[in-house]
Amino acid sequence: MGDSYHALYRKAYPMVPLIPDDRERRLVMTASKGQHGSRLDPWTQSYAQRTAGMSASEIRALFAVASRPEVVSLAGGMPCLSALPMETVAAAVAQMLATQGTTALQYGSGQGDPTLREQILEVMALEGISAHADDIVVTTGSQQALDLVTRIFIDPGDVVLAEAPSYVGALGVFAAYQAQVAHVFSDDDGLVPQALQERIVALKAAGKRIKFLYSVPNFHNPAGTTLSLQRRPQIVEICQRHGILLLEDNPYGLLGFDREPYDAMRTLSEEGVVYLGSFSKTFAPGLRVGWALAPHAVREKLVLASESAILCPSAYSQMTVSTYLATCDWMAQIKVYRELYRERRDAMLESLGAMLPQASWTHPDGGFYVWLTLPEGLNAKAMLPRAVTERVAYVPGTAFFADGTGQRNVRLSYCYPDPDRIREGVRRFAGVVHAEQELLETFGPYDATATGSGPSTGVQFPSPDLS
């Protein structure tokens, strides 16, 4: 039955158009074999042990095809930059270069531009945070902040607690530093405090050393959920009681649809929380400007770690962001984004309700993502080649679990395509699901072991389209 299934599947859903050239074919072959060296690499035996599990994401090559204009991508978490007032921004940046160009193009402070750090205080004040600019470290995107925090806290074998599911970029960082990721159950109201408490107790009983809890409390990536106001102080109290740092990653916090921003969990504990922020979702991801707000002693180590990694963040990027904040109505622009993304979220939810009622999904009140659960028996990762053949792309749920689970889950992003494009993408996606259900009824459940789609053993490095 297995051979018949795969033979008929390939006949019905030909794979060849997915990999049109030798370069992409080699990428897929390498990813599927999990290679981390070859006889063509004379340095194979010299690499550090932590590189042994490094591999490109198994779906990266498929996304090279999915990025084509004829494919509707519901995969990427890319902001809609066409909504920015480009002429206004360009004029402001040109003026900045004309008057401060020698500073903008020179080396800068390892901790970040002092003016920008003061402006970041104004941004965080919208989420109730009162802090000092000296405790802010500007980073090359919040991804670098994630890396720096992990670098200064994690020894091989240490445990990082993370929501289930969790941001794929964070999982890659944790794996690169050889941390063990312990997922904690989450529901539509976010991380479950009782599940967190039980997980901590069990890990400590097993002799594990827990270093921090990683959480995306607002408009979660990938789940689209928001941690309830009732649970936030409970989560903070549990972490404090057990001596566990809380790493609060909040790139979407200002992009809520129905209310003013939630107070950050950092407002509940200045010493127990490291807060990560970013301008990638509210201004421009290409500038790669993020930050960490940390307790003083942690801040000192973050600065040292950052200086050893990059010497200093880009002065040009920082001064561009600073100029934008000083000369443009950035708060009005955030309101524009909120309305734009609300319209696109509505288009996705309405389309799913009309075209795929047999599935279930979250109902985000901000951010970029919907987390969908397929009908019983379907495998999102196995469906992906067929979906790209049908010119629609998504991210399978397995990317967001350290143990490779999440086979029935899909992350759908509504931030980049316009509403009509979203509706067309959902129509194509629903068609793929319906075709898979027909195969399931005929041949029975998909055998995940036949294609190696079980837990990943390597560090996954997603393309930007996965972020």
Within 10 angstroms of residue 455's Cβ, the number of other Cβ atoms is 10
27-31, 66-70, 389-393: lowest mean pLDDT where? 27-31
Question: pLDDT-based confidence at 38, cuts 50/70/90?
Answer: low
* Residue 454, pLDDT score: 44
Contact status, residue 462 vs residue 172, Cβ threshold 8 Å: yes
Reading phi first (left if > 0) and then psi (alpha if -120 to 50, else beta), residue 112 is in left
* Phi, psi of 20, rounded to the nearest 5 degrees: -80, -15
Tens-digit pLDDT profile for residues 123-152: 999 999 999 999 999 999 999 999 999 999
Q: Average pLDDT of the chain?
A: 88
Report, in angstroms and rounded to the nearest whole number, the Rg of the chain calculated over CA atoms: 22
Question: pLDDT-based confidence at 32, cuts 50/70/90?
Answer: very low
What is the enclosing helix (H) or strand (E) of 432? helix 419-443
Give the predicted TM-score (pTM) of the model.
0.88
Contact status, residue 373 vs residue 408, Cβ threshold 8 Å: yes
Q: How far, in Å, CA of 280 to CA of 259, rounded?
A: 21
Question: pLDDT-based confidence at 68, cuts 50/70/90?
Answer: confident
Q: How far, in Å, CA of 5 to CA of 11, rounded?
A: 10
Contact status, residue 165 vs residue 149, Cβ threshold 8 Å: no
